[in-house]
Structure 1
C-alpha cells in the first residue's frame, strides 16, 4: 500500500515538474523571441533620441589655446553607448557619429555586412600651455596599411581593424606657435562631391575604409597660435553686424542671389533612372559655382538668401556633411548668407498642444524638432552666416525669422550708422508647415514701425508661396508659369495686403521648381491701383524627385542701384545664363 501511494505521489510530482518545465520553457522561448525582435530589429543606433547640441564656431574652437594632443579609436558592441570611464571623460571627447553610420544594420540586409560593432573616434584636447606635444596631422587607414613609401615622421597605433597615423610637434620646438596645429577634428560622410570649404579646415578626400555605401572622412581644423588676433578681430567685426542684423553693401549698389531647393544629400544625388551614374548633386554644385563666378564678374555678391530645401532629409543621417557640401560654393567664396527652412529640411516645431497651455519646455519637444534646432544651431555657427540660433518662441511662428538692414558704402570709423535709416530691408520668414501666420505679420509691423528711412527698398523671402501666387483673371508676368495646381491655403490671403502696405516691393519664394516667373500682384479699387508688388519664384537650383539629372537648374538675382533708385531682377540658369531681366521697382 505504501509503495502504491509513493508511486502515485512520484507520478504527480513528475507531472507537476513537467508542467513547470513546459511553462518555464515557454517563458524562456517568449523572452528569447522578444530579445531577438528588440536586439535585431529595434533601431537603437538611429536617431530615436536626440539631444539639443552645441556647435562651436571658429572662435569657440580656439578659445583657451586648446590643441588636439592625441587621438584613438574604440570599438564597441553595436547597441552600447561606447562611453569612456569617468577618469578618461575628463580628458577625452567622443566624436558624434560612428564610422559605420551608413553601414547596414545587423540582419536588416542579408546582402550587406552584418557587423554588430561600432567604431568611434576619440580626441584628447588640452591647453597648448599644458601639453608636451600637439598633433599637426592625422590619418586613419586599414590596419597595417602605409600612408606613403617612407612613413617618415609619423607615429602609428594599431587597433582591431585600423591604424591611426599621427604626426606630432614638440612644444619645445622653435616653430611650435607658428605651425598649423590641429585644434579640432570631425568626421564627415559623403562621396566624391563632399567638401568642407570652411576657412582653416582641411578636408581629407581619401576616405576611412568602411564597408558602407557612404564613407567617413576626417576633416581637421588647423590654425597656428599666432593667428588668433587676426581671426578674433575679423570674427567680432562680423558678429557685431550679425547681432544688429546689419548688412553693409560692398559698393553703391546691392546684389542678392536667391537659391532654393538644392536637395543635397550625402551621396551624389537622386536620379529617376537608377541605371545611370547619378551625379545630380555634383551638377547642382557646379551650377552654383559657375553662377557665382558669372555674377561676381560684374559686381561682387553682397548676400545669398537660401529659401529652403537646402538638404534632402530623407537621404541624410548626419546633416552636417550635407549642409557643408551644399554651402561649399558660398563658404569658399566667403559670401555672407542667410537661410530659412523648407519642408525637406524642416519638421514641426513641437507637438500639437491646446492653445491655453503654457509654452513647452525642452522635454516637450519632439525628436525631429530638436533635430531642426540642431540644424539651425550648426548653420548659425558657420562663417559669414547671418542666422542666429533660437530655442523656440511660442509667440512667433517658425525658427528662422530675420529682418536685415542694408547700408550703403562707404562706411568708416567716423560714420555713425543710423539703424533706423537703412537704404534697404531684407526680411526672411519661416514658412513652417506651409504657412505664414499672424504672428509673423505682427513681426513685420514691429520691425518696420521704427524705421525713419524715406522710401527704402524692401524685399521679403520665404519658402512656400502665398495663396496669392495663384491669381485669377488677367495679370502681368515675366517667366514660365507651368505649375498651376492648387496651393495649400493655410495662409490668409489678406496677409498679402499687410505686406504691401508695409512697403515691400517684392516677395520671392522657392518650392515650385517648374515655376520661375514673377507675377504682378495688384490691389485695385474702382479701377484704381492702390498698391502693387511682384510675387517671384527662384525656381530650383538642384534636382529632386520629379526632375532629371540634367534638369535646367535656376536661381534668381536682385540688384539695387542706390544712385539710380532702381531694383532689378533676373534669373540665371545652367543652360541660358542670365535672362529675363526686369524692373522690380523704381523711385
Structure 2
C-alpha cells in the first residue's frame, strides 16, 4: 500500500509523500487513491422511509475536517463523489432513514429527487404538505408530510451514486436522476449521478435456461469488453482514420447489435468486463453491460479476468453485485475453493422437462503468477478448483443419464491453458499473438477430457480467435480449445488491423451438434467468420 501511495504522489507531483502518508494514516475515512474505492452495495431497509438526503464536503489536508455525520442518524454512501481524484477535497452523500411505524405528523418523506441550479418548484402547482427543499451540490428533494406517503410506490426508499456521462442503472425499480451533482470536477468520468429506487425491493428475475422447442440453443461469448467508468478511450481502433472514438459507446453498440440480430439464449462474459485501470467505479462499468442484457431479458453468466479487479473493487464485491442483478446466473461458488466464480449452469431440455441437456462449467483463472521466480506471467487453476470440477462432474453424471438424448458439457475460463501453445494442433481462425498461458500446467485440460467436456473457450489474448483441436493419445479428437477474440475497444487490438469480434456457439440438441462462428464489428457485418462444426453426435469432430 505504501508503494502505491509513493508512486501515485510521484506521478502527480501535487502533494509531498509525507502529506499523503499523514492524510492516509491519520484520517482513514478518506479514499485517497482510486484503487482504494470499493464497490458499494446500497443497503435495503424494508420498513424504513427516507426522510432526508444531503452532501457533505471536507478537506483532506485538514485532519480536523470530516465528511462524517452522526452514524446513528445518517447512513453514508461509501463512494467519494470525486472518486479519489480530489487531492484537497472529498465529498459524500448521506441518507437519513426512519422506521415507517415511527413516523410522526411532523416527519417528511422524500418522494422525489432532482439536481439543478434552479428551484424545480417554479411553475409547479402547489400541493399542500409537499415542497421542494435545497441541499448542497445542486440537490433538490421533494418531501411530503402526508402520513401515507411512506407506503406509496412513489416514495424514495434507496439512493445510490453512479459515475460517467453514460451511467445507467438496470436494476428493477431504480431510475437515474439524469443531471450530475454540481461539484467542482472536470471530465465526464467524474460526473456523479444519483439513482433512486421507489417502493420496496423486489426479488430479481432469475430465469432457468432451457433448450428451445426447436431443439436449438445459442450461446454468445463476449470476451474482454474492457469497460471503463465513463465512455473510455479507444485503443487500436479500426479503421485507423483518426475519427473520435469512445470505447464503451462503440463496444456496447457492437454488442447490442449482435444481441438483436443473433438473439442468443445465454451470454457468457468470459472475463475482463471491467478495465480496472480506467474504472475508478467498477459498479458503473458493470451496469453498462448488464443493462444491455437485462432490457432484452437475456440470461447471462460471468467470470473474471486479470483486469476486472485492478481498480476499485475486489472480485468478491463485484460478484455480490452481479449476483443481485436480474437475469444474472453468476455465482461466487464454494467459499473454500480458490477464486471467485467457480460454478456451473444447467440448461434444461425442451418443454417442461426437469432434466439437464447441457452443462456449462465456469471457473476463475485468477490473474498473475504467485511464483514469478519459477513461473512468470499468469496464474493457473488450482488443485482444489480442479478437484471441485472433477467431483462436481462425476456427481452430475447419474442425473445427466436420465436425459433421453445426448447430454453435452462445455466450459469457459478467461486465461488460456498451456495446451493452447501447441502449434502441432489443427486450428481454424487467426493466431496473431503469443499465447499468454500460465507457465505452470496444473492439468485442467486433462481433467476436462476425462470428464467428457467437449470444448473450452477463453478470452485474454484479444487478437487470437482460433479454435484448436486437442487430441488424445490415440490421435483421436478429444477437446476443442477456442478463443473468442476481444470484443472491447477499451483493450488492445493491434496485430495487423484486428477487428473486434464476438464468438457464438449454435447448439442443435436434435443432432447433438455444435457449430461455432464469429461476427465482426467492422467490414462485412453480416458475415459468419470461420464457421465450423466442432461437435457432432455428441462427439468432438474435425469437420475439415
Task: Return the TM-score normalized by structure 1.
Answer: 0.74
Specify the SS of the correspondent of 1:383: coil
Specify the SS of the correspondent of 2:55: strand
1:572 counterpart = 2:519: yes
Q: Structure 2 residue aligned with 1:442, among 387, 411, 414?
A: 387
Q: How far apart are 1:49 and its partner, in Å?
A: 9.6
| Partners of 2:52 and 2:95 within 8 A in 1 | yes
Name the residue aligned to 1:21.
none
- Residues 24-55 of structure 1 deviation map (CA, whole Å, 9 limit, x = unaligned): xxxxxxxxx99646457989532599698873
| Partners of 2:416 and 2:435 within 8 A in 1 | no
Name the residue aligned to 1:317.
280
* Higher mean C-alpha displacement, 117-126 vs 268-277: 268-277
Specify the SS of the correspondent of 1:449: helix
Q: How far apart are 1:304 and its partner, in Å?
A: 1.4
| Partners of 2:36 and 2:312 within 8 A in 1 | no
Q: How far apart are 1:256 and its partner, in Å?
A: 1.5
Specify the SS of the correspondent of 1:64: coil
Q: How far apart are 1:504 and its partner, in Å?
A: 0.8
Name the residue aligned to 1:397.
338
| Partners of 1:202 and 1:219 within 8 A in 2 | yes
Q: How far, CA to CA, are the matches of 1:471 and 1:311 in structure 2?
A: 30
| Partners of 2:463 and 2:493 within 8 A in 1 | no
1:547 counterpart = 2:493: yes
Specify the SS of the correspondent of 2:293: helix
| Partners of 1:185 and 1:221 within 8 A in 2 | yes
Specify the SS of the correspondent of 2:472: strand
Q: Structure 2 residue aligned with 1:426, among 360, 372, 382?
A: 360
Q: How far apart are 1:95 and its partner, in Å?
A: 1.0
Name the residue aligned to 2:140.
165
Alignment coverage as a number of residue pairs = 480
Q: How far apart are 1:295 and its partner, in Å?
A: 1.1
- 1:472 and 1:101, CA in 2 relative to 1: closer, same or farther beyond 3 A? closer
1:476 counterpart = 2:422: no
1:185-204 to structure 2, matched below 5 A, reads 185-191=159-165, 193-204=166-177
Q: How far, CA to CA, are the matches of 2:143 and 2:121 in structure 1?
A: 17
| Partners of 2:416 and 2:436 within 8 A in 1 | no
Q: How far, CA to CA, are the matches of 2:184 and 2:40 in structure 1?
A: 30
Specify the SS of the correspondent of 2:57: strand
Higher helix share: 1
1:563 counterpart = 2:514: no
Specify the SS of the correspondent of 1:293: helix
1:219 counterpart = 2:195: yes
Q: How far, CA to CA, are the matches of 2:195 and 2:312 in structure 1?
A: 28
Q: How far apart are 1:400 and its partner, in Å?
A: 1.0
Q: How far apart are 1:186 and its partner, in Å?
A: 0.6
| Partners of 1:198 and 1:332 within 8 A in 2 | no
What are structure 2's unaligned runs of at least 5 residues?
1-15, 368-378, 538-544
Q: How far apart are 1:285 and its partner, in Å?
A: 0.7
Q: How far apart are 1:130 and its partner, in Å?
A: 3.6
Task: Return the TM-score normalized by structure 2.
Answer: 0.79
Q: How far, CA to CA, are the matches of 1:93 and 1:464 in structure 2?
A: 40
- Residues 340-368 of structure 1 deviation map (CA, whole Å, 9 limit, x = unaligned): 11011146xxxxxxxxxxxxxxxxxxxx8
Name the residue aligned to 2:484.
538
1:79-478 to structure 2, matched below 5 A, reads 80-85=65-70, 89-101=71-83, 103-105=85-87, 116-131=88-103, 132-142=107-117, 145-147=118-120, 150=123, 155-159=131-135, 162-172=137-147, 177=151, 179-191=153-165, 193-212=166-185, 213=187, 214-223=190-199, 231-232=202-203, 238=206, 247-249=209-211, 251=213, 252-272=215-235, 277-296=244-263, 301-346=264-309, 371-389=314-332, 392-393=335-336, 396-411=337-352, 417=354, 421-433=355-367, 434-450=379-395, 451-452=397-398, 453-454=400-401, 455-473=406-424, 475-478=425-428
Superposed CA RMSD: 3.3
Q: How far apart are 1:156 and its partner, in Å?
A: 4.1
Q: How far apart are 1:76 and its partner, in Å?
A: 2.4
- 1:37 and 1:53, CA in 2 relative to 1: closer, same or farther beyond 3 A? closer
Q: How far, CA to CA, are the matches of 2:344 and 2:434 in structure 1?
A: 30
- 1:35 and 1:518, CA in 2 relative to 1: closer, same or farther beyond 3 A? closer
Q: How far, CA to CA, are the matches of 1:345 and 1:221 in structure 2?
A: 27
- 1:198 and 1:49, CA in 2 relative to 1: closer, same or farther beyond 3 A? closer
- Residues 516-548 of structure 1 deviation map (CA, whole Å, 9 limit, x = unaligned): 1212111242xx52x422111111110135337
Q: Structure 1 residue aligned with 2:451, among 489, 497, 502?
A: 502
| Partners of 2:35 and 2:312 within 8 A in 1 | no
Specify the SS of the correspondent of 1:248: coil
Q: How far, CA to CA, are the matches of 1:547 and 1:583 in structure 2?
A: 27
Specify the SS of the correspondent of 1:101: coil
